[in-house]
Structure 1
């Protein structure tokens, strides 16, 4: 069991890591919200702070006084049972609190959390603290991807800085691993932390299939484009085809023509497309259409989990053909924390594998990410599969 000292250290490290992600930003960058799916960086900083104040400090630290009476309204995300909140589309309209004030708020809550962990942490509160820490780690990933969208959609395309493996090279051609039919165990099976949507462990029957040991590359995607992939209605879902036309989609997000060649915006600046790098920032619609064009398909999340030990993963979220649904006998937690995952199990697709923006201890084979089919601002890619 993790000790109080270890929990405190993990909490402090997490808070520090979140703020480190924001260090390259100018003050003006903290406020921008270009689209509804992207939250301003300062909102992330405030929301992850409010989470600890709401679920731990207010009820469990003696004589705690909230930093500001209205911050619960400003920084609540989707917790209906907690109370009213700022509409998601309006997060970018908040000129106040200022960035400076939000950092003061973070310092205030961090200091009081240290008191709670050192002097008032009960066994009952440890799971809530762990959720709070991992919740902030999830927002670290959202922070980086939101920052990329904010900067990448600025006409000046400013540089954020170098990020390891933003260009993920796939130097070997696709080699398929065959998996026999059978009954396989799926889901988290250790005493280490996991989210409720990774439970309970259960069995599934899989038909025989084969899965590629590498991700689809930019070079393959350019061939898809050149062959009219974005203008061939026969390989798209109807909903995806409508999305392509409505939004004039002709390439993955951040791709653009530069001097007659494909280039892309990276956090380190604009750069010519490397054909050997894994394609990134694609929607489920695009992943499905590409697989159709290749005469193959996407793996289900269960096929991916069973086969994952046979290939490298962890640098890109990989679209699967699975709808985001509860596992058999799933039980969501009681109270407000029950809103964390369960209520989103509708009309979304599961992604597996994690990405370069994912905190290291979240990179586990059973992690279930989920997004709506048209979204592509995360570091998404695809791996091909076929039935045998």
Structure 2
């Protein structure tokens, strides 16, 4: 997890830091202490843990290491809120994060306030290296804001009462736009983040790749189209599936995207259960499902390089993404960024010449380059301004509790 030195003055960095930290608190505002402790499955984390872990990150890598005289708020808490940084020593098992009822939610909020005040005081005197870590911490917390929402959605979905986190507008009832195809770039193109500005280490170095003739769909696959796939026996036709995917479908008895009820055409959302919007992008599908749908549709998933080249001229701050106030639910229409992450057909592997960041923060990406598939774009839960064409999200192929969807490609 690495960045270049910040290409903006510390005052701007301070404003971005304050806005990011405030948004996390706002996302947590409706929650009770009990809500904030829920861990629906081992790969998800409690809301309180996200609040604490992002605070631990700033306290550990910025204040402890770069603010002389700073003392840890509580020396016992790093064991609870370290994630998987081996360089920071022992930590609680990931699957047991939901058992951490103490410290309380209010105590974690108090810790956040303490760390925020210390950061504000320390910022004017921090070195360029430390300011780069503050920038890294902002990007890291924005990732956890999305995880906060998707993990909470999974936790509330596990409650038979299916409680609502908040309100959402009614379904649009718009007709889906007919799918059209756009020609992708051919020949030698450059992929990866350019020098200057922030990027995670896995986005660099920039390199050249040869692309053949191909087309990419102008919009994601919709709920209505996914219903057609189901009606046509998509989940019962072995020839559509990768071998591992078919084994997963059989073992997990998968019949539809996560949170769907086919018999009533509904899906569970952060606003509770609601009717499917046929024109909205399908979400909460695995890579296995995305690949099977593409095969059923006579298409395929785009490669990471095809998608990135296609999106290189798009504005990544546009589209339906997470704002301070706005529906956290995929919406019809939109742009290549927003609504749902797009599965690609590419494994999460290093760019040629990749080197992880120095120090413990270098554990963030490189050690996960095995058994993961790349997703591109952004979702309705991604903080606006966080993503870019070179951004590399990644999950295991069976994962689907994120806002993951499908944008088709085909050869031509």
Q: Does TM-score exceed 0.5, indicating one fold?
A: yes
The DSSP-based 3-state class of the residue aligned with 2:188 is strand
Question: Once superposed, what is the RMSD of the aligned Cα atoms?
Answer: 1.8
Whole-Å separation in 2 of the counterparts to 1:166 and 1:114: 42
1:181 is matched with 186
**Which of residues 208, 233, 249 in structure 1 aligns to 2:254?**
249
Give the secondary structure class of the aligned counterpart of 1:271. strand
CA–CA distance in structure 2, aligned partners of residues 168 and 216 of structure 1: 16
Matches within 5 A, 1:162-201: 162=167, 171-189=176-194, 191-201=196-206
Show the 5 A alignment for 1:121-132: 121-132=126-137
- Is 1:21 the equivalent of 2:20? no
Q: Quote the offset at 1:153 in angstroms.
A: 2.0
Q: State how far apart, in whole Å, the 2-side matches of 1:196 and 1:168 are.
A: 42
- Structure 2 residue aligned with 1:321: 345
**1:362 aligned counterpart, secondary structure:** coil
Structure 1 equivalent of residue 36 of structure 2 = 30
Residues 180, 144 of structure 1: alpha-carbon distance in 2 compared, 3 angstrom cutoff = closer
- In the alignment, structure 1 residue 63 sits paired with structure 2 residue 87: no
Secondary structure (helix, strand or coil) at the match of 1:81 reads helix
> Aligned pair 1:210/2:219, yes or no?
no
> 2 CA distance for matches of 1:180 and 1:306?
7
1:94-146 CA distance string (max 9 Å, x none): 1111111111111111111111113x211221111111111111111110111
Cα distance, 1:59 vs structure 2? 2.2
Q: Tell me the number of residue pairs that the alignment of Structure 1 and Structure 2 aligns.
A: 385
Are residue 93 (structure 1) and residue 99 (structure 2) matched? yes
Q: Within 5 A, what are the aligned runs for 1:44-83?
A: 44-83=50-89
CA distance in 1, matches of 2:37, 2:100: 8
Cα contact 2:173–2:278 (8 A) shared by 1: no
Cα 1:168–1:307, aligned 2, differ >3 Å: closer, same or farther? farther
1:300 corresponds to? 303
Q: C-alpha deviations, 1:354-383, integer Å up to 9, x for none?
A: 111111111311111000000111111001
Q: Tell whether the 8 Å contact from 1:297 to 1:385 is kept in structure 2 after alignment.
A: yes
2:289 is paired with a residue whose SS is: helix
Question: Is the contact between residue 164 and residue 356 of structure 1 (CA under 8 Å) also seen in structure 2?
Answer: no
Larger RCO (CA under 8 A, 6+ residues apart) = 2
Cα deviation for residue 14 of structure 1 reads: 1.1
Contact 2:33 2:104 in 1 (8 A): no
Match of 1:42 in 2: 48
Gaps of 5+ in 2: 1-6, 315-334
Q: Distance in 2 between matches of 1:361 and 1:113?
A: 22
